[in-house]
Structure 1
C-alpha cells in the first residue's frame, strides 16, 4: 500500500486518531504534573521560610530583611523566579494554606497567586471556591475580582448567607441564585457620555458573548437573539434567550434603557407563559425571565409583580465598574450585626 493509499485507509485513520488522542492527553497530564510540582515546591519554600522565622525571637526580627536577602541569594544561585515579591508570595501561600497543599492539585500557580492578592479571607475563600467550581483561568478570575463579584452577590444577603457564600461559593439551586445586583457590562467599553440604544446594547453583548456568559454565571448556553414567538398572528421578539444546564430551563432576558414600566413586566410574563406551554419539552423546568434595566423603581416592580410568576425578576445593570468601597461598607455593616461569627 502506498503512502497515498493510507490517507483513505480506515484502519490507518483509526491509528492516527488514537495516537493523536494519546499525545494530546499526555500533554495535558504533563502540564498538570508540572503545575502540581511547581505549586508544591512553592508551598514548601513558604513553609521553610515561616519555620525559620518561628525558631526564636532573633530570627523573627529579620522580617523584610530576610526576604530581601533570600531573594538576592536565590537569584544568584538559580536565576529568575526569586524576586522579592515572589519570595513574599511563597511565604504568604503557606500562611494562607498551612494544611492545604492539596490545593496545588486543583488550581494553577497563576490562579493561586492571584487569590493570594485578596486580603479578606472571606472574599478569598469565595473566589477560591468559584475557581474550583467553574474552572476559571487567571484571566477570568481577574475580571470577576475587578467587577467585585463577591461583594455584588453578598449585597442584600444576611450574615449567615454571606458566610455560606464565602465558604462554598455560589451554588445554583433555584432561580434567585442566578441573580447579580447589579450586572456589570464594563467589558463593552462604552465611553461615559455615550448612551447606546437597546438594539446597540444587545448587539454589543452578543459580540462579546464570552465575557457576557462569564458575567451571567455558570450554566448558561446561548440559544438566540430576537427570538420570535407568534400569538394570534402577532409576532413578538424576546431580546435574548438562553438555556440553563443546571436548572434545566430557558432563561429569557429583555434589555431596557429606561425605567421598567408595568407593561414591560406584563410582556415578560407573556413570554414566560408561551415558553412554558410551547417551547418546553419533557424534563424542562418552568422558564425564568429577567428584565435588565439601568433604573429600577422598587415599588412599581413590587406592585406590578404582585401574585405574578415568581420566576420573573427585574434587575439593574451598569456599563461601568461598581463602587467597590460602597459595596465593602455594606458588607462590613451586615457582618458587624449580630456579633462575631
Structure 2
C-alpha cells in the first residue's frame, strides 16, 4: 500500500518554490536587498504553508509529522540540507508565533511591515521561545532599534530585561518585598513549564508541537507541553508535577488512550516525561510500549 501524499496543494508548492528560489539567486537578493531577511521571509512562508495544509488535512495525531517529513524530502532534493525536519518544525513554530493577520499570498510588503527586516533568522529563533506576546514584541522592536546582536538579545532575555525596564520590576519588588509570596500557583507552574520547554528545545532532537497539548485525544490530565523527538521518531508528552504512584499511573493510562487513538508502530508509541519540583525526570510508558534501548534512553534527560 502506497504512502498517501501529504504535501501542500500545487499552488502552495509553486508559491513556496518561488520564495526559496530567491535565496539561491544572487541577482534576486541584490535587487531586493536585505538578504538575511529574505531568508526569514521564506521561512515564515514555509511555516504558513505547513500550518494551512495541516488545518485542511486529516484528523490524525501524526499527520503533521508525516507532512513535515515529506515536505522536508521535497525541499532537500531541490535546495539542500537546510530543510531537514527539525528546521521545518522551527519554521512552523515561527509562523504560529508571528501569525500575521490578513497577509495575502505573495504580498511580502505586509510581512515586512509587521516583522523587523534588521533581524536575522537567529534573532527570530530566540524570539520564538518567548511565550508572552507582549514581551516577544518588546524584544523584537528593541533588538532592531538598538541593533542588538543575537547574543545580546539572548543575554537580555535571560536577565529578565523586559520585566525590569518595561514593567519596572525592580521598583515593584522594592516597594513590595512580599510580592513573591502572592504569586499564584498557576503562574509559577507556567513559568517552570516555559523554562523546561526552552531547555529541551536547546538540545538536539527536540521540536515543539504544541505548548498546551490541547490537540491530544486524552480525556483528562493532558501534558503541559507536547514535543516531537525526530531522532527517536516519537511524540513525547511532558508533565510538570509531583512524582507519586497516582500521578505515574494516571500518565500511563493517558498514554494508552493516546496510543490506541494513533494506531502506530510499537517502536513509535508516545512517551511521557514527568518532571518533579527538583527537576528530576521520570520516563513513563504505557503497558504496551516495548522497553527503550540504552541508546534511546540516552537521548532523554534524567535531570533538567
Q: TM-score range by the shorter chain?
A: 0.3 to 0.5
Rg larger in structure:
1
With structure 2 as the length reference, what TM-score do the two structures score? Answer: 0.39
As a proportion of its length, which structure holds more strand? Answer: 1
Higher relative contact order (CA 8 A, sep 6+): 1
